Amino acid sequence: MKKFDQMKTLELVVFMAFAGVCFYQIVIASDIYQQITTDKNVMHLCIFLWVSLFLSFACIFVDFSLYSKQNENLASLTAAANTDSVARIANRYSIDSIIDEYADKDIPGEMGAAMIELTSLKEVNSNYGRVEGNNLIRAFSIILSMASLDECIVGRNGGNRFIILYEKSSDLHLAVFLDRLADKVRDYNANTKNHHIEYEFGVAYAARDDITSITRLIALSSNRLTEKVRGEAAVEEEQSENEKLLQEIIPFEELIEEEQLEPLPLSVTFTQEDIALIGAQKLQMLDTKRTRVQLFRQRMAL
């Protein structure tokens, strides 16, 4: 898009310069204008040439207008795709794009993450309805954005959980952020018209916790939050369930051997179409199991 923009700008500048030179030469700097007015054939030819120039200018102008409109639509679509519809902050898709940036490399030692849970949301949803619950999420998101001062990444991780990512000097900035957040929540709760906000958080630091993977950093902050909200028993139960699921995973090499066909009568013969159909069914079963394993591994990574 940048090259297209530059090309169209250069095209417009060259066209306007050429049109200006032609106008000066014909109308001002010579007696061609008088010849044009006296000879009808020359006049018609000049009219066609000026109409062509005008149409060229109009086409370039339309290109610029369409290009500008396309950029606006693209920006709107990008913002909609990366923004949570309720919280009006970054959504899980935006967080995943940041995680992908560090997928194949170690995170910097000063990086830190905080997982925050809006614990009062369930009570508001039960007593006042989902609309008021969404309003509470939106209000809490505004408070998070104000507390961040654009120094960190603030996003909604799903449900009533929010994620904060600091990429520089997290030891200092995360503590300051949490202090600002506590002050702003206290001011919000001081207004009796507002639904009371209660929250818990879990924090993890790359250097302090000796973590080099962004997924493990986020997972550790999430586990510490879960331990605060639901206790150590809930964390241990979740880990034991994950271990059971891991034991049920079958390596890809054994997936084909697991499904064995019953012996077929010797009198049965297969055509090429039958063999192709059986092969397609087996590949479909294998792809289904592979997808289940990949989804589980992605869940474990987070």
Among residues 116, 281, 285, 279, which one has the least CA distance to residue 202?
Answer: 116
CA distances (Å), 269 to each of 264, 272, 275, in order? 10, 10, 10
Whether the Cβ atoms of residue 250 and residue 297 lie closer than 8 Å to each other: no
* Beta carbons of 90 and 156 less than 8 angstroms apart: yes
Determine contact, residues 96/211, Cβ cutoff 8 Å.
Answer: no
Q: Which two tokens stand for residue 280?
A: 């397609």
The predicted pLDDT at position 261 comes to 44
Reading across the β-sheet that carries 161-166, which strands appear in turn? 153-158, 161-166, 112-118, 199-205
Side chain identity, residue 146: M
Expressed in angstroms, the distance from the first to the final Cα of the chain is 35
30: left (phi > 0), else alpha (psi -120 to 50), else beta?
A: beta
Say how far apart CA 96 and CA 81 lie, in whole Å. 12
Q: Which residues contact 58 (CB under 8 A, 6 or more apart)?
A: none
pLDDT tens track, the chain, 302 positions: 567 667 777 877 887 787 777 777 766 666 666 666 677 777 777 778 778 878 877 887 787 777 777 777 666 665 555 677 777 788 877 788 888 888 778 888 888 999 999 999 999 999 999 999 999 999 999 999 999 888 888 988 888 999 999 877 666 778 889 999 999 999 999 999 999 999 999 999 988 899 888 888 998 998 999 888 887 555 566 556 555 544 544 444 444 444 444 444 544 455 555 555 565 566 566 656 555 555 555 555 55
Question: pTM for the whole thing?
Answer: 0.56
215 neighbors 99 (Cβ within 8 angstroms): yes
Query: What is the rounded CA–CA span in Å between residue 92 and residue 80?
Result: 12
Q: Where does 92-246 sit in CATH, by number?
A: 3.30.70.270
d(CA 138, CA 149): 17
The answer to whether residues 5 and 13 touch, using CB atoms and an 8 Å cutoff, is no
Q: Contact 113/221 with Cβ under 8 angstroms?
A: yes
pLDDT at 202: 93
DSSP 31: S
Cα distance between residue 144 and residue 148, in whole Å: 6
